[in-house]
Amino acid sequence: MGKHDWRTPPKKWNYKTRMAHVGYDPFLSMGAARPPIFSCSTFVTENAEKLENMFRRACGLDAPLAPDDEWPIYTRLSNPNFIMLCDRLQCLEQGADDARAVYFPSGLSAIFTTVLAVCNPGDTLIFGYPIYGGTDHQFRHLIPEKLGVNVVPVNATDLNEVEETIKKHADTLKMFFIETPANPSLAMVDIQAVADLTHSHSNGILAVDNTFMSPILQHPLKHGADIVIYSGTKSIGGHSDLIAGFAVDKDPQRAAKINSIRVSSGPTPSAYDAWLLFRSLDTLEVRVLRAQENAQKVANFLLKHPKVEKVVYPDFYDKNSAEWKIFQKQCEGPGAMITFDPIGGKKESYTILDNLNIFGLAVSLGGVESLAENPWFHTHLDVSDEDKEKSNFGPQTVRLAIGLEDADDMCDDLDQALAKI
C-alpha cells in the first residue's frame, strides 16, 4: 500500500477502495497478493518480556494492544486472519471513525455475547418484534431464564409504544435491540428515532441487526445506533459455505469488553472462515447490488400475478406512509428479500415451495443461490401465533431470498409453481 497505513486507510477513500485494500499488507507475507490462512493454534513471540506485556494487555491489566503493535498469542484470543477481517469490515461502517468489529462463530453468538457485555442480572433489554426466530427464542427464553435479564418485546414501528416502554423501564434499561427491515415482515424501524428515545430517556444503548441490508445498503451507526450486529453467514459470506457473526461497536472500549467475554467464554471462529469472509468482502457490493436488481424484477412480477394476494418489498411501500419515509431516509436500496402471500393458506404455500426448481427450499439468505421458505412454519415456528399475527405475516406467507441467477428464469420458476395452486 505504498505510503499508506494498511490498517488505517485515507479518509478520502471510498468504501469500494477500502474493501480492496484495507487489512492486508502483502509485504508481511512475502509479497503474496492475497493473504495466507494462518491455520495455527499458537504464535511464537520474540522474547519473554514481550510475551508478558502481551498477556498483561490481553488480561486487561494494561492498555489494550495498539493497532500498530497487535501480535497474536493464541487463536482463541486472536489470529492474523481475524485481525485482517475485522479491519476491513469495520471500515465499511459509516458514522463512527473509531468503530471496532468483533468476529464470532455465528450471528447468535455475536448477539448473546453482546448482551452479556452490556446487561447484568436485573437489567432490562427491550427488543422490537418481529425479529429473526433464533434471536426471538434467545430473547424470550435463554437470556431471561439463564442470565436473569428482564426482556420486554415491543412493536418497534410504533414510536408511542416505544417511548412508553422505554420510560417504564428507564431505570434498568441497558439495551434496545431492533432488526430493520424486520425478519420476515420487512417492516421498517426508524433507527434514529429509536436511538434518540433510548438515549434521552435512559442510559441504554441501541443495537441494530443489519443482516438484511448489509453494510452496503444501510449504516445504522450513521443514524444513531451504538452497535451493529451481522450474521456473517449471509451477504458478507455470500456463498453459503460458512457460519459467522459480527458485532461492530462505535465505542472501542465496549468492543474490547465484548471481545474479552468472547475470549473468556470460549466461542472461537476459524481462521479458514475468516479467510473466506475476507475474500467475500472484495465482492460484497457487486453481489448485493446484483441480487437487489434481481429482486426488483421478481417483486414486480409477483405484484402483477393473479394468484398472489400481497407482495411486501420496500419499493412497494405506500409513498405517503411512515415506512416509505424511513426507507428513503436510512436505506440506500430495497435489498433482496421479498415476502408474498399466495391465494389460499398453508396448503397452497407448501405446493408452491414443493414445486420450485431454481429456488432451493431452505432457510438463510445472501448467497449466490435463491432460496424460499414459509416463515410461519419454518424459521419462526417457535414464535407464538399471536406474535406472528401481530407481525403481519400468516400461514400462507412465502419468504424469498433472491440470489444471482437470471431474474427471468426465477420469474418463470415462480410462475410454474404458482400455476399448481
pLDDT band at 18 (very low <50, low <70, confident <90, very high): confident
In the chain, the percentage of residues whose pLDDT exceeds 70 is 96
Question: Residue 56 pLDDT more than 90?
Answer: no
- The answer to whether residue 221 sits within a structural domain is yes
**Domain stops at, among 240, 264, 281:** 281
Give the pLDDT of residue 67: 43
Give the pLDDT of residue 4: 53
Give the pLDDT of residue 70: 67
Give the pLDDT of residue 28: 80
Question: Residue 10 pLDDT more than 80?
Answer: no
What is the DSSP pairing of strand 371-373 with strand 227-231?
unpaired
Give the pLDDT of residue 68: 44
Residues 275, 298 within the same domain: no
Question: Residue 61 pLDDT more than 80?
Answer: no
- The answer to whether residue 2 sits within a structural domain is no
Average pLDDT over residues 113-130: 97
pLDDT band at 41 (very low <50, low <70, confident <90, very high): very high
Give the pLDDT of residue 201: 98
Residues 344, 327 within the same domain: yes
- The answer to whether residue 89 sits within a structural domain is yes
Residues 269, 289 within the same domain: no
Residues 271, 292 within the same domain: no
What's the domain count of the chain? 2
pLDDT band at 385 (very low <50, low <70, confident <90, very high): confident
pTM: 0.94
CATH label of the domain that carries residue 123: 3.40.640.10
Structural element, H or E, at residue 101: strand 100-104
Q: 24-28, 128-132, 376-380: lowest mean pLDDT where?
A: 24-28
Give the pLDDT of residue 15: 75
What is the rounded CA–CA span in Å between residue 295 and residue 312?
11
Exposed (0-12), middle (13-18) or buried (19+): which is 420, by Cβ within 10 Å?
Answer: exposed
pLDDT digit string, tens, across residues 273-332: 999 999 999 999 999 999 999 999 999 999 999 999 999 999 999 999 999 999 999 999
- The answer to whether residue 347 sits within a structural domain is yes
Q: Phi and psi dihedrals of 419, rounded to 5?
A: -65, -15
What is the DSSP pairing of strand 227-231 with strand 100-104?
unpaired
pLDDT band at 401 (very low <50, low <70, confident <90, very high): very high
User: Which position has the grid cell 427450499?
Assistant: 361
Question: Residue 408 pLDDT more than 80?
Answer: yes
Residue 60 CB coordination number (10 Å)? 11
The strand ranges marked E within 264-393 are 308-312, 337-342, 360-361, 371-373
User: Which position has the grid cell 455470500?
Assistant: 238
Give the pLDDT of residue 65: 52
- The answer to whether residue 49 sits within a structural domain is no
What is the rounded CA–CA span in Å between residue 105 and residue 355?
34
Exposed (0-12), middle (13-18) or buried (19+): which is 31, by Cβ within 10 Å?
Answer: exposed
Report H helices in 363-419.
385-390, 407-418
pLDDT digit string, tens, across residues 197-242: 999 999 999 999 999 999 999 999 999 999 999 999 999 999 999 9
pLDDT digit string, tens, across residues 250-277: 999 999 999 999 999 999 999 999 999 9
Residues 93, 146 within the same domain: yes
Residues 116, 198 within the same domain: yes
**Domain stops at, among 281, 304, 326:** 281
- The answer to whether residue 107 sits within a structural domain is yes
Residues 178, 214 within the same domain: yes
Average pLDDT over residues 354-366: 97
Would you say 115 and 131 are in contact if contact means Cβ atoms under 8 Å apart? no
Give the pLDDT of residue 403: 99
Question: Residue 420 pLDDT more than 70?
Answer: yes
Residues 216, 266 within the same domain: yes
Residues 212, 307 within the same domain: no
Q: Compute the C-alpha angle 202/117/141, nearest 5°.
A: 85
Sequence-distant (≥ 6) Cβ neighbours of residue 43 within 8 angstroms: 71, 72, 73, 74
**Domain stops at, among 281, 298, 328:** 281
pLDDT band at 64 (very low <50, low <70, confident <90, very high): low
Residues 140, 187 within the same domain: yes
Residues 349, 404 within the same domain: yes
What is the rounded CA–CA span in Å between residue 350 and residue 397?
10
Question: Residue 344 pLDDT more than 90?
Answer: yes
- The answer to whether residue 66 sits within a structural domain is no
Question: Residue 1 pLDDT more than 60?
Answer: no
Would you say 159 and 197 are in contact if contact means Cβ atoms under 8 Å apart? yes
Residue 419, all three cell numbers: 400455476
Give the pLDDT of residue 381: 87
Residue 326, all three cell numbers: 424511513
Give the pLDDT of residue 63: 65
In the chain, the percentage of residues whose pLDDT exceeds 90 is 78
The DSSP code for 236 is T
Residues 222, 288 within the same domain: no
What is the rounded CA–CA span in Å between residue 63 and residue 411?
56
- The answer to whether residue 311 sits within a structural domain is yes
Q: How far is CA 198 from CA 7, 77, 205, 296, in A?
A: 33, 33, 7, 34
CATH label of the domain that carries residue 332: 3.90.1150.10
Range of the domain at 159: 15-40+75-281
The pLDDT mean for the chain works out to 93
